[in-house]
Amino acid sequence: MNIRRSSRTEKTEVLIAQEMEPLDVEDAKMDYSDVFRRVAPVLKAITFHCHSLWLFTSSDLKTIVGPSFVFGVTNALAGENYGLESPKQAPGKMMFRRLPLVLLWIWMNLLPFTINNQKNPGAIKEDAMNKPWRTLPSRRMTPRQAERLMMALYPLAVGLSLPIGGFRQSVGLVVLGTWYNNLAGGDANCFVRNLINACGYVCFTSGAMEVALGFPLPLETRLLHWFGVIAATVFTTVHLQDMYDQTGDRVRGRKTVPLVIGDVPARWSIAIPMVIWGFVCPRFWNGGIAVLAPSLVLAGTVAARSLLLTTIEGDRMTFKLWNAWMTLVFVLPLMSRATT
C-alpha cells in the first residue's frame, strides 16, 4: 500500500515539475513574432481603409462637421429658448454623454454624401488636379468600390438614426444628396445649388441638435423661424465657396453664381447679404452689443474681403472666415437673453 502511494506521489511530482519548468525565452519570442506577423497585415489594412474613409470627408470638417456639432450641442443646451422641456437629468451631464453620438451621426450622414459627390469621372479628374490626396484620385479605392460602399452606407446612416435620433434629417440628406449628385442639382442651376446647400445645412444642424437632446425636435414656431433664418443666410451667401474654384467649375460645366452672373456681381451678391445677416441674426435673439459687435465685425470682414481680396488664396481664406462667422451665428441662442 505504501509502495503504491510512493509511486503515485513520484509521478505527480514529475508532472508538477514539468509544468513548472521555465518557458524557453527564445520560444516565447518566436511565438510573439509569429503572432505579430499574422496580425500586422490585418492592422495595416484596417488603418489603410479607415484613412481612406477619412479622406472622403476631411475637406468638410470646417464646413459641416465642426459647425454642425457646435450648433447641435449649444442649441440643445439653449432648448428653453425654444420652449423645449428640460431633461430630467442635468443638461450638461446628459450632453456630455451624447457628444460621441452627435459626432457619429454627423460623420455617418456626411460620408455617403461625399462619396457620391467624389465618385463620378468628372469629379475624380477635377480632384486629380486640385486635391490629388483624396481617396479616388490617389487610387486607394476604385470608383466601383466607392459606389458599393456608398450604397451600403446610406441605409446604414438612416438605420443608425432610428435609435439615436435625426431620422427625418437623415432621410432628407439622402434625398438632397441624390438630387445634388445624381440629378445635376449641384451643376445645372446656381439657385438650385444654393437651395440644396441651404437645406443640407438645416438637416445637419437640426439632426445634430436632435441627437444631442435625445428626443425628436417638435415643430415649434421659434425653432422653425430660426432654421428659416439659417437657411436664408446660407442660400444668399454660400456661393462664396464657388469664388475660388471658378476654373474647375467652368471645366465641369457647372452653373455656379459667379459663372452665371459674373465675378464682380457675384461678390456684391455676397457682401451685401453678409452685412445684413451680420445684424439680423443677433437681433433675432435680442442680442446686445456684446453679441452684435463680434457678428458685425466678422460679417463685415467677410464682406470686405470678398470685394477686395479676389485671388484664389484670398477667397479661400475668406470662406474660412465665413465658416467662423456661421459658427458664431450657431451659438447665438445660447448667448441670447431671449425668452419664449
Per residue, what are the HEC states of 290-310? Answer: HHHHHHHHHHHHHHHHHHHCC
Query: 17: which 3 cell numbers?
Result: 515539475
pTM here? 0.86
Please name which of 317, 130, 327, 129 lies closest in space to residue 240, comparing C-alpha atoms. 317
Question: For residues 172 and 160, what is the distance between their CA atoms, to the nearest angstrom?
Answer: 14
Answer yes or no: are the C-beta atoms of 158 and 173 closer than 8 Å.
Answer: no
Please name which of 182, 198, 195, 192 lies closest in space to residue 117, comparing C-alpha atoms. 182
Alpha-carbon separation of residue 138 from 100, 331, 337 (angstroms): 30, 38, 50
Query: 118: which 3 cell numbers?
Result: 467624389
Please name which of 104, 73, 103 lies closest in space to residue 91, comparing C-alpha atoms. 73
Buried b (16+ CB within 10 A) or exposed e, 129-143: eebeebbbbeebbee
All structural domains of the chain with their residue ranges: 89-216, 218-340
Phi-psi region at 267: left, alpha or beta (left = phi > 0; alpha = psi -120 to 50)? alpha
Answer yes or no: are the C-beta atoms of 77 and 95 closer than 8 Å.
Answer: yes
Radius of gyration, CA atoms only, the chain? 28
Alpha-carbon separation of residue 5 from 8, 16, 65, 249 (angstroms): 5, 16, 75, 93
Question: For residues 72 and 106, what is the distance between their CA atoms, to the nearest angstrom?
Answer: 10
Question: For residues 337 and 216, what is the distance between their CA atoms, to the nearest angstrom?
Answer: 25
Question: For residues 34 and 178, what is the distance between their CA atoms, to the nearest angstrom?
Answer: 48
Question: For residues 160 and 166, what is the distance between their CA atoms, to the nearest angstrom?
Answer: 9
Query: 318: which 3 cell numbers?
Result: 475668406
Tens-of-pLDDT digits for all 340 residues of the chain?
444 445 555 545 444 444 445 545 455 455 667 767 777 788 888 999 999 999 999 999 999 999 999 999 999 999 888 888 655 444 566 678 899 999 999 999 999 999 999 998 888 988 888 889 999 999 999 999 999 999 999 999 999 999 999 999 999 999 999 999 999 999 999 999 999 999 999 999 999 999 999 999 998 889 999 999 999 999 999 999 999 999 888 888 899 999 999 999 999 999 999 999 999 999 999 989 999 999 999 999 999 999 999 999 999 999 999 999 999 999 999 988 543 3
Where helices occur in 131-217 by DSSP H, the ranges are 143-164, 167-182, 190-213
How high is the pLDDT of residue 247?
Answer: 87
Question: For residues 266 and 248, what is the distance between their CA atoms, to the nearest angstrom?
Answer: 17
